[in-house]
């Protein structure tokens, strides 16, 4: 234990944050539940020591983002790292037109990942090949975009809101002010709130939204405001990592609970498949302590992960 939500600063990689956590917590056993790009900020969920066991159950959590999509300029990285390698004049757009386009992206999608990503093909990392001047054939992957809300259309990233109400993560006169990457120019910019499923690349979404509007586009800024039950307003800073209490494994697992007796707990810890009428994925507890995560088929329970 514990599970800790950290507010990742700009320019650090997720691995940088993991290394900081290892030093702060005096342990090598630190994992995270979903990478954030260096030019993105916001919630990065860390699992420390024995809590690394719960990472596999949290990777599928939905995530919320604030995305600044800059139109009329494309980049190889699909974000503000640059350089700009494609330009086009942006037609006059109304918010109604943009909302109509965004609506086409809601639901199950097939999304092509960025070339600058950690995806492996044939043992090669896509970003390593891209940095060497090549490109891998990255097939489209199934994703789900649950919600997309246009918060505004602005003449540039600089002119778009940077301050938000931390209760709603909508633009406000006071509240939480975000630092975005240095802009690559003054390009018309969409401010979008997104709720997406696992494996969704917001950089690819920016590219695809631009294409649907007939122009190249890149992600001018990105903030992750929520991962599963972890909201940015409750996240700790890097400086607060050493003292952060976090939450225990049981509270981090968002599954219904089966309260076991001694026999059931013992059989699950032995890897057996005891008879039980539950169907679906459950957390099993004994006296309030975590025993296992199990899958039930309505007849018996199968252990996915057990705790001593």
> Which two tokens mark 18?
């993991």
Q: Can you tell me the distance from the alpha carbon of 18 to that of 2, in angstroms, rounded to the nearest whole number?
A: 14
- Exposure string for 32-64, b = 16+ CB within 10 A, e = fewer: bbbebbbbbbbbbbbbbeebbbbbebbeebebb
Which of the following is catalytic: 7, 37, 64, 79? 37
* Contact call for residues 284 and 274 (beta carbons, < 8 A): no
Partner residues linked to 5 by β-bridges? 45
Q: Which residues, including other chains, have CB under 8 Å from residue 148's CB and lie 6 or more apart?
A: 102, 103, 105, 106, 192, 193, 194
Greatest C-alpha distance within the chain: 70
Give the number of other Cβ atoms within 10 Å of residue 182's Cβ: 10
H/E run at residue 195: strand 189-196
Tokens of 78: 């699909």
Q: How far is 43 from 65, CA to CA, in rounded Å?
A: 10
Q: Is 79 noted as a catalytic residue in this protein? A: no
**DSSP tag of 34:** S
Catalytically annotated residues: 37
């Amino acid at each position: 234990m514990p599970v800790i939500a950290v507010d990742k600063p700009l320019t650090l990689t997720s691995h940088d944050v993991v290394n900081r956590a290892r030093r702060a917590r005096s342990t090598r056993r630190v994992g995270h539940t979903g990478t954030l790009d260096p030019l993105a900020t916001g919630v990065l969920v860390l699992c420390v020591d024995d809590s690394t066991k719960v990472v596999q159950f949290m990777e599928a959590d939905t995530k919320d983002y604030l995305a600044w999509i800059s139109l009329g300029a494309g980049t190889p990285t699909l974000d503000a790292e640059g350089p700009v390698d494609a330009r086009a004049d942006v037609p006059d757009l109304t918010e109604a037109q943009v909302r109509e386009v965004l609506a086409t992206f809601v639901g199950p999608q097939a999304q092509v990942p960025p070339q600058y990503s950690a995806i492996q093909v044939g043992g090669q990392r896509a970003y390593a090949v891209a940095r060497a001047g090549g490109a891998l054939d990255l097939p489209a992957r199934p994703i789900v975009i649950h919600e997309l809300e246009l918060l505004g259309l602005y003449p540039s990233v600089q002119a778009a809101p940077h301050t938000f109400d931390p209760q709603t993560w909508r633009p406000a006169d006071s509240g939480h002010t975000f630092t975005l990457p240095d802009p690559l120019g003054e390009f018309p910019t969409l401010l979008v709130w997104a709720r997406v499923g696992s494996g969704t690349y917001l950089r690819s979404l920016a590219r695809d939204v631009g294409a649907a509007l007939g122009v190249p586009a890149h992600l001018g800024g990105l903030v992750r405001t929520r991962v599963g039950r972890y909201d940015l307003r409750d996240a700790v800073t890097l400086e607060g990592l050493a003292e952060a209490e976090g939450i225990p494994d049981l509270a981090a697992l968002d599954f219904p609970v089966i309260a076991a007796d001694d026999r059931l707990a013992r059989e699950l810890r032995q890897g057996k498949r005891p008879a039980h009428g539950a169907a679906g994925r459950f957390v099993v507890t004994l006296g309030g302590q975590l025993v296992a995560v199990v899958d039930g088929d309505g007849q018996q329970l199968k252990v996915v992960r057990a705790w001593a």
